[in-house]
Amino acid sequence: MTPAVLRIATRKSALALWQAEHVAGLLRTTHPGLRVELVPLSTRGDEILDMPLATIGGKGLFLKELELAMLEGRADLAVHSLKDVPSELEPGFALPAILPRADAADAFVSNDYADLAALPRGARVGTSSLRRQAQLRAVRPDLELLDLRGNVGTRLQKLDSGHYDAIVLACAGLERLGLHARIRSRLAAPAWLPAPGQGAIAIEARSDQPAVLEALAVLDDADTRLAVTAERAMNQALGGSCTVPVGAWCTVTERGLHLRGLVGEVSSGRLLVAEAAGVGDDAVDLGNGVAQSLFAQGAAAFLKS
């Protein structure tokens, strides 16, 4: 039986609120009469903006306060960008729904230059993602890579203020906020790999709340779940940490799954790349297999560094 009310724990950023409102709208449409409320919260990942995420504990910092709200009964579910969700959830939590994936590519954003190739030597590019930094270094070792934290609006403001010649963001986030016009060019697979799960919205809930899980499961997209399961399995096999530059892109076709993954080294721009294909129901095996191929190329040394 569907609950009468569902409360969504969400971060307070414009993008997080958009995602929570989007899920709320889908739930109201799917379950007529259901009351859906937002519970906006601040997380440590939002509050500590003067240090790289990898230094202060990783993307899981964006989840902890939301999970605490669910454990304490202040919220029934949380909405996340899947790329911010650790490969292994905390005990007692599940992802009953993953929505259809939006554009998973990265966005090259600049006020003066059309694309990465157009940047002059030594141009300043902002991103706090080690995955993006490694791929930027591989393509343009001459660039000055600078850390960039904050929500989408803050990052764009820093670009507009002249702190950077260009920045790299997720296409999906810009598009969801109505900022598609800021995308000068797309950095997309197969040449450029996104973060595992990038572009997908995930709904998290307590695993001991069957009525809530059932109400949310109707929003799940089977193809997206298959693809991101392979990507996240690869990431987990590699150590599942945001302190390592890891990219993954899985496509789902009538023939099955195809996964391409990479591990990078920020200092040198060296990239290890592997890919494999599999049938539809072996997403975890496929992810593990690509991870093993990366290990066979020497990924362990990158992971240690």
Just list the catalytic residues. 84
Residue 303, φ and ψ in degrees, nearest 5: -65, -35
Q: Which residue has the tokens 């997309």?
A: 188
CA neighbor of 63 nearest in space, from 37, 95, 36, 35: 95
Residues contacting residue 171 through CB under 8 Å, at least 6 positions apart: 102, 103, 104, 105, 106, 107, 183, 186, 199
CA neighbor of 17 nearest in space, from 79, 96, 62, 65: 79
User: Which structure tokens are listed for 113?
Assistant: 């230059």
Q: How far apart are CA 87 and CA 61, in angstroms?
A: 14
- How far CA 126 is from CA of 43, 74, 146, in Å, comes to 23, 37, 5
